[in-house]
Structure 1
């Protein structure tokens, strides 16, 4: 769901176009070839126009490809024209590597796990990836995409490879794949400067400065050069700083040990490895420099560099019999087989190995094709942001140029009327155009983002992509992971609910009493559930400290068992376990007689999988009587374990108890077991699906996942600001709904419905049956709504009376079988449970297609894809910067979300304000110059300098220092620069300034002390000073100052201007200096500024009074016309009118809500809508969690829960 696919370009011969796609990432490739005639015309026009023609083609790459080349097949192409999923257009030259005479043949992967010899390799490089031409497929593809998705059998066949690659094969593969290095090369400063300098704005500045130097405006032109160079330097500095920061984060090489040439162990730099190499994983760990498949042993890694999750993860070797039914022709899949993959960038903490052998892994991807490399590429080439803002910016500049063209025509006419020399006529006419685009605009436009980024860093929120900050100001949908994000990362053990197995007195299993104390003698079934809890986990000792998943740690500590991974030599310790080093768990000394053994060994572990929703271990006792006494213990989600259990071992009221606990916010783990008739060798090879079946249910482990203290306050803030909040979690649906109600994602004034599916029921057209039922909630009369008071008409029209919740399984069914309801579902469903990582990413992308601006906040576990996909991903991590998301918060709760939105709104409003200030100041100056041209006078060089440098630039520099408002307003800031309010504001202020300047100009001409300047016959002399120019200039000084006040917008997005001490100082200083220049100028000031002062103080005071009146009118116009009549009244009326008109151009999600109505009845066409569920009887069960609404008696206590950063 990377956005709507661009239309395929029409025309061209067969084979002219292909599409390369990976998930929702794709690019269209078109073939072109250069011709001698086109090249001649291209170079001739470029030479004759002194490079101007080439510059135009640089700005418009579609024209470049049409001018340089003609359409052809991709097989013949010398240039490829690329359009990616973000509609970015680039072209790349096709290069060729030819086999040398007598040299080794070149190779390419054949997609079947082997390589084919080719005489040459045609390829191009796009965003650090090499795309080679595969003739049989008729398309360009990355070679790594073929050999890393070969059939699983190919990799299994190499598991016993102890010889490694030969030197000849390594040399061949290095030509194909290049060196294994993720390198962010620093572009030369000259290149960065040149690329920035040839943008349209800076080219305009070069032409302007050239014109001013030609006109001998030396001081002003020199200052403009300094400002432009400074702005260029700032841009280049920021680019270089980001490059250095990214390079320091990702650049990593080191020594690596590889099997080569028949099994020789060779140690060299990691940049030399190639796909297919067999590497040795050191026992004491290190950093992975490539993606590799684990061949032997097990490895414990920390993947926080990629995921933000610091919990150790266990990787296991790929066995001869795959555990997930992926034998035969099934291809290797990085997501499905991630438990076997050591990813580049991860930290190896510990290895467990076969006796006398090394832990080995086979390199599968290198450099930028690795998982880490892909993350780095997504940072280096992010999705374009602020496209609409940039487009509006160019349109607004075009609007200003239209105004300037009127001045150009006026000046040209005046100069011709006065018979001015042609040179002066040309200079003055062009000079007026240069007044329109202010020279300090690039630097001024970035001050809001720079200051917002600095304020975020002070609050421990780090941003590696500052351009995203403006986008955050438009966020209207926030997605949250649950565990570790909305709720505490750790869980509290609440209770254990064991199951009594069937017996002579009962035909079916029954639940026992709840117990918080795990006493073996009081447990049924020989306390098998305690043994299962003690053995079934992924905990490990690292440097003597027990580490692993927090849930596993908490539950294991309740058993009081101990875990030992052994410290003896491998041969001594593993002699009883077929040379495999096991994890051993031991019961407390007093309980060992009860269990009949001193210790139990975890012979094999089936690691947890998000897709499978479970993990298992095979356990045996070293001193067991029979070598075939094995037990599998399995734990996972209640739904999954239920599907694997023998029905006779499951209590009849199992689902009732599960629902009861889940509805009150508890996290549940079901535990089951099964006796196995296997020896140790068989246990190492048995397929997972063969032993995870016909299990006996042992009971439920109930954990309490508390909501973080700040969560409710943050969600309340977002709800009050009309920002949609969505929970996206891998947890149980009912648990997720309960937590969503408690924290406010499911609103207390709305009904909550579950959308489910019946896997065994089909509709007449063969689709899976969907059902909708209302979730149990408390009595509405006992609660109050936490949202703001009365909603206005717009809010009422866009507010539904219900919220939907759906689980990942049902979501997959809808995506596959009911795609026609996806739009409607996404607009009203706010809780997504049991979501796999790829489903989270799909959800975020889909919300964007509904025209939401989406943020995603997660702790990194399974959230990386969604964090990357969102407009603004916020990772809760310990690291200062994570490459998983643009934003990283060191404070591990969601208070960072409203902070980022508030700062984004402040930066966005600042950008708008700065631009309108600079545009208005330019137009005000333009008006002054036009009045001067009426008598062929002008402002002096230093008068221009005072305005542009001391007033405009000095004030604009401190515009962004105003901090963000302390709260989130209900109405978001405008996101369109080219809006009615902006245009009316600019045109209206221009009219006010023009009227005031014209009045003072006429007033001066009627004063008794006024002397008309004498015009030269051909107007060839320098511009003459005049009292008219002085009065107009002095008046305009105060207009520039009041503009800063008008456009330094405060609440509801920024603090008041008084909080910006530097801006207040700048305004006060410039006002004082301007008053001094106008009223009491000293002789040296008059001489320096080169103007004729107004002779009498009373008349100078009159100019100040007129200035004050003009400023007052400007202020009233801004308050009454712009803010009240347009932004409040007109916009509200237009919004209501659009909502009532189904054909209007409102966001897609708004159109959906208006269409489907305020209740859930629209789903009746696709699903069975059940009646309102009754409240279940608790039977003495009193959970600690409430249902999520706030009782009236508790409301006061919760008001002050949240304290903003």
Structure 2
């Protein structure tokens, strides 16, 4: 911490372009020596100034705060307030807190627990970057080479680089011997970069082309070298990425925004209606002598709040998203942030890295030139499987000496090796990927690597270096010493005096060289990397560059590429059908990127593509119109994502490298590769592809669209049902006792609403989903048709429910004339009404003069002579009416669940039995509800009494009316949409 505080006080120093400086200038700027390095005393001083060479981790958010955040919702606030009001008024009125508040509290806490679990662990991107750094390094201090921890390095340190070393910091190369560095994770370059120590004069040189620099967290794959550390910690290129990740804001998904807006809107409506209902009941008590007091009036408002709020909505949304997460994991898409599942559904642009994402990240020989002919190779990757074709026909190389020798030289002039994983059966290369693919191409011709190494032993070697751009090996071939050379074609041609055609040597001519270079350039335009091959008799020749690498005989060329994945072209076509744009954003060169994009169908011939250096001068429109960006830096990737977001696009960004992490986090959906991806990219992303397959993203988009569709289904179901509940209570408040109590409403909302709502999450997706355009990100949940449907269903069901309630509470023919014996067991309820003060006669008189219930019975034609019997009968009539109303409402909502399986298509066309979880959940809900009517203990809690056989018959018209009215509305919608 002490070091960190010191670092924060250091004034910001101007950034130096180290790659433009000479070795001497670097030494001067950093006050160091390229021979002896820094002194121990100077290291200590600089360590105190610059701090440790490590990445700062963000302070993690306490888990208790994450849990409390689950309660930050308007609807949750209303439920908590309702629970408190219910408990307080029950205590004032009856001396106990009652059951309602407990049920509400359980719902609220369970919802918070679900959200807490689903949110999972906090973001660990910076920690992953920190772990990505090298733990130790070889450094020269006080003129001695020692090993130190990477965190102890300081600017000016002189480090020694060896093959296999993970680079500990950014540095300027001052000495190198055939040094190659794998930088794909940082720059996107598909092959190891040949490093050199010369000055680069272009101050705008992109990161991928700074060949005299090494960067933290990259890997030395070949050769050796020395470098002076120029930047450490958060000032390295990886550190800059870490800063961008930490500064990226966590965005709300479209669904979260919609649900938040919806919650605020619904909360205001609920509060307004609850207050209105309470005031109506209070007015009836004060002015019309109604049978319930102020306490009951306020509790009626609480009951309405319980009815109006879809308590299960947050949990059901989480469950539905979790269902989608499970489905996607089965398709190799691992979702880290639950709500991001739905965001995929409105993705309108996918920005994809090239290497390892659109391509295999495996170099593959596509064709070869030998004897003036072009041969094609099938197969991809390092698997030695495929054919060699000439004009479409398979050939055997043994009968074509020029091609056979070209492949043989590629096999033997080679230091790589192939290996097949025993478990996955996947072929991998150890060593330079370019050399690895040469082994594969030769193997396709029947030349097995190990066999040929034994048959033709290597006698000597002149290693490859970036200055000569070639490599020479000397092998014993049939008792003779033969030198095999591979390298850059244009350089080899200058060293060749002869050429082999049809197995015969002859002097090479200017026309031969012209044809060779034309073939080379043609393949270069196709983004194929070319290597030339030559040989000579090495008998009696010194193994020195000047002697051995001259008077060569040119034999042929091989052309390789990191090929596109087989399934990506199909996936991109599907994206276009779904209205989703695909853009390639890569650190590789423009020619290769454009050629791959053309092969995948992303761009048309002649279409303009851009390099990263063009991006600062491009408008948002220009960026939106371009489909390929090459040689981009992490800042460029972020600029592209932000420009697309400014244009209203929902952006999914794919990547696998450290350099992709900031853009992954800033995108609406960050997608990392699970196999080739770095830990950094996986932590920054919200989705990880377990199979590194671009096509999996397309399946995930379809899943996201289907999930959103199903979420809308159960929101429509919950709201149309709750609208009915609210209307029933609101209209009844003007002239009827409350048709349902709070616990009954909670039962309906949890048992009958909850399970079927979750089951809608399992509903089969619309098969036309991927032929529709992405929905607008600002499209509200409550669309015009959504509101029309919701109100229409609510009004129809309200009329049905209120009609039945009025029949049982007001119409003589349906009102019972006597209290059954079973109901008398609930006498404590009766005593609550008439014996609260222990003076039964006075209460009866008060009841008779003010309540109106006794007159109500007389006006209804019910002959009751005994006052106490009248009171008990009136209570029984109310319980009976509520019990039948409760049953009909439950059945109507169950039927409504089936209605919501499609907004337009008929339920009879969709089929009742295609969603088995729906049938199961409805069955369970029905069984549990019926249990209330036969289990007295449970029935008492929910104010439900047994019904007669004729009362159960109301189930039939409630199903017919509920389904029938919606089927009529769907016919209207289908005509509107010409379906």
Given the two structures, how large is their TM-score scaled by the length of structure 1?
Answer: 0.57
* Residue equivalent to 2:785: 981
* Residue equivalent to 1:445: 317
1:1091 aligns with 2:958: no
Deviation at 1:365, TM superposition (A): 3.2
Q: Specify whether residues 314 and 987 from structure 1 end up closer, same or farther in structure 2 by C-alpha distance, changes over 3 A only.
A: same
Q: Match for 2:328 among 449, 456, 460?
A: 456
1:1030 aligns with 2:903: no
- Aligned equivalents of 2:75, 2:140: Cα separation in 1: 56
1:160 aligns with 2:34: yes
* Residue equivalent to 1:642: none
Q: Match for 2:675 among 875, 878, 883?
A: 878
SS at match of 1:215: helix
- Aligned equivalents of 1:650, 1:395: Cα separation in 2: 72
Higher mean C-alpha deviation, range 414-423 or range 1032-1041: 414-423
1:853 aligns with 2:650: yes
Correspondence 1:1100-1111 to 2 at 5 A:
1100-1111=951-962
* Residue equivalent to 1:57: none
Q: Match for 1:1002 among 792, 806, 812?
A: 806
SS at match of 1:163: coil
SS at match of 2:701: helix
Whether the 8 Å contact between 1:444 and 1:956 is mirrored in structure 2 is: yes
1:418 aligns with 2:285: yes
Q: Specify whether residues 1029 and 478 from structure 1 end up closer, same or farther in structure 2 by C-alpha distance, changes over 3 A only.
A: same
Deviation at 1:470, TM superposition (A): 1.1
Q: Match for 1:401 among 268, 277, 281?
A: 268
- Aligned equivalents of 2:133, 2:563: Cα separation in 1: 42
Correspondence 1:806-885 to 2 at 5 A:
806-808=608-610, 822=622, 826-827=624-625, 832=628, 846-855=643-652, 871-878=668-675, 883-884=680-681, 885=685
- Aligned equivalents of 2:71, 2:804: Cα separation in 1: 41
- Aligned equivalents of 2:678, 2:732: Cα separation in 1: 55
- Aligned equivalents of 2:619, 2:677: Cα separation in 1: 41
Q: Match for 1:475 among 347, 355, 362?
A: 347
* Residue equivalent to 2:192: 313
1:495 aligns with 2:373: no
- Aligned equivalents of 2:298, 2:278: Cα separation in 1: 9
Whether the 8 Å contact between 1:274 and 1:366 is mirrored in structure 2 is: no
Q: Specify whether residues 1042 and 852 from structure 1 end up closer, same or farther in structure 2 by C-alpha distance, changes over 3 A only.
A: same
Residues 705-724 of structure 1, C-alpha deviations (whole Å, 9 max, x = no match): 87655445444544444444
The structure with the largest alpha-carbon Rg is 2
Q: Match for 2:216 among 343, 350, 362?
A: 343
Q: Match for 2:892 among 1039, 1045, 1050?
A: 1039
- Aligned equivalents of 2:316, 2:156: Cα separation in 1: 53
SS at match of 2:740: coil
1:553 aligns with 2:450: no
- Aligned equivalents of 2:689, 2:511: Cα separation in 1: 49
- Aligned equivalents of 1:521, 1:1113: Cα separation in 2: 78
* Residue equivalent to 2:709: 909
Deviation at 1:473, TM superposition (A): 0.7
Deviation at 1:882, TM superposition (A): 5.2
* Residue equivalent to 1:1069: 924
* Residue equivalent to 2:110: 230
Residues 801-858 of structure 1, C-alpha deviations (whole Å, 9 max, x = no match): xxxx33447x977x788969837xx55x7x6486756777766655544434344556
- Aligned equivalents of 1:731, 1:1032: Cα separation in 2: 72
Q: Match for 1:1124 among 970, 974, 979?
A: 974
Deviation at 1:586, TM superposition (A): 0.8
* Residue equivalent to 2:748: 947
- Aligned equivalents of 1:882, 1:1051: Cα separation in 2: 45
1:207 aligns with 2:7: no
Higher mean C-alpha deviation, range 725-734 or range 905-914: 725-734
Deviation at 1:900, TM superposition (A): 0.8
Q: Specify whether residues 466 and 883 from structure 1 end up closer, same or farther in structure 2 by C-alpha distance, changes over 3 A only.
A: farther
Deviation at 1:163, TM superposition (A): 3.3
- Aligned equivalents of 1:339, 1:204: Cα separation in 2: 64
* Residue equivalent to 2:530: 669
Whether the 8 Å contact between 2:89 and 2:295 is mirrored in structure 1 is: no
SS at match of 2:771: coil
SS at match of 1:985: helix
Whether the 8 Å contact between 1:292 and 1:361 is mirrored in structure 2 is: yes
Q: Which runs of 5+ in 2 are unaligned?
A: 91-96, 287-291, 374-389, 421-427, 451-459, 497-508, 535-542, 547-552, 818-832, 834-846, 853-870
Q: Match for 2:722 among 922, 931, 937?
A: 922
* Residue equivalent to 2:425: none
Residues 774-822 of structure 1, C-alpha deviations (whole Å, 9 max, x = no match): xxxxxxxxxxxxxxxxxxxxxxxxxxxxxxx33447x977x78896983
Deviation at 1:263, TM superposition (A): 5.1
Q: Specify whether residues 403 and 442 from structure 1 end up closer, same or farther in structure 2 by C-alpha distance, changes over 3 A only.
A: closer
- Aligned equivalents of 2:897, 2:492: Cα separation in 1: 74
Q: Whose helix fraction is larger, Structure 1's or Structure 2's?
A: 2
SS at match of 1:947: helix
Q: Specify whether residues 820 and 1093 from structure 1 end up closer, same or farther in structure 2 by C-alpha distance, changes over 3 A only.
A: closer
Whether the 8 Å contact between 1:258 and 1:277 is mirrored in structure 2 is: no
Q: Specify whether residues 498 and 454 from structure 1 end up closer, same or farther in structure 2 by C-alpha distance, changes over 3 A only.
A: same
Whether the 8 Å contact between 1:540 and 1:548 is mirrored in structure 2 is: yes
Whether the 8 Å contact between 1:182 and 1:367 is mirrored in structure 2 is: yes
Q: Specify whether residues 732 and 307 from structure 1 end up closer, same or farther in structure 2 by C-alpha distance, changes over 3 A only.
A: closer
1:993 aligns with 2:797: yes
RMSD across aligned positions (CA): 5.8
SS at match of 1:888: strand
- Aligned equivalents of 1:592, 1:807: Cα separation in 2: 54
Deviation at 1:232, TM superposition (A): 2.0
Whether the 8 Å contact between 2:67 and 2:116 is mirrored in structure 1 is: yes
Given the two structures, how large is their TM-score scaled by the length of structure 2?
Answer: 0.68
Whether the 8 Å contact between 1:293 and 1:362 is mirrored in structure 2 is: yes
- Aligned equivalents of 1:1057, 1:184: Cα separation in 2: 52
1:325 aligns with 2:201: yes
* Residue equivalent to 2:477: 590
SS at match of 1:589: strand
Q: Specify whether residues 681 and 312 from structure 1 end up closer, same or farther in structure 2 by C-alpha distance, changes over 3 A only.
A: same
Whether the 8 Å contact between 1:733 and 1:832 is mirrored in structure 2 is: no
Deviation at 1:499, TM superposition (A): 8.3
- Aligned equivalents of 1:107, 1:681: Cα separation in 2: 53
SS at match of 1:451: helix
- Aligned equivalents of 1:331, 1:732: Cα separation in 2: 16
Deviation at 1:954, TM superposition (A): 3.4
Q: Specify whether residues 702 and 1010 from structure 1 end up closer, same or farther in structure 2 by C-alpha distance, changes over 3 A only.
A: same
Deviation at 1:906, TM superposition (A): 1.9
Whether the 8 Å contact between 2:529 and 2:559 is mirrored in structure 1 is: yes
- Aligned equivalents of 1:655, 1:728: Cα separation in 2: 30
SS at match of 2:813: coil
SS at match of 1:494: strand
Residues 956-1008 of structure 1, C-alpha deviations (whole Å, 9 max, x = no match): 44443446567754224755213212222322222222222222222222143
Correspondence 1:241-320 to 2 at 5 A:
241-243=121-123, 251=131, 255-257=135-137, 259=139, 262=142, 270-279=150-159, 285=164, 287=166, 290-293=169-172, 296-297=175-176, 313-314=192-193, 316=195, 319=197
Residues 1066-1090 of structure 1, C-alpha deviations (whole Å, 9 max, x = no match): 111113444565xx64544543422
Whether the 8 Å contact between 1:231 and 1:442 is mirrored in structure 2 is: yes
Whether the 8 Å contact between 1:725 and 1:745 is mirrored in structure 2 is: yes
* Residue equivalent to 2:821: none
Q: Specify whether residues 197 and 368 from structure 1 end up closer, same or farther in structure 2 by C-alpha distance, changes over 3 A only.
A: farther
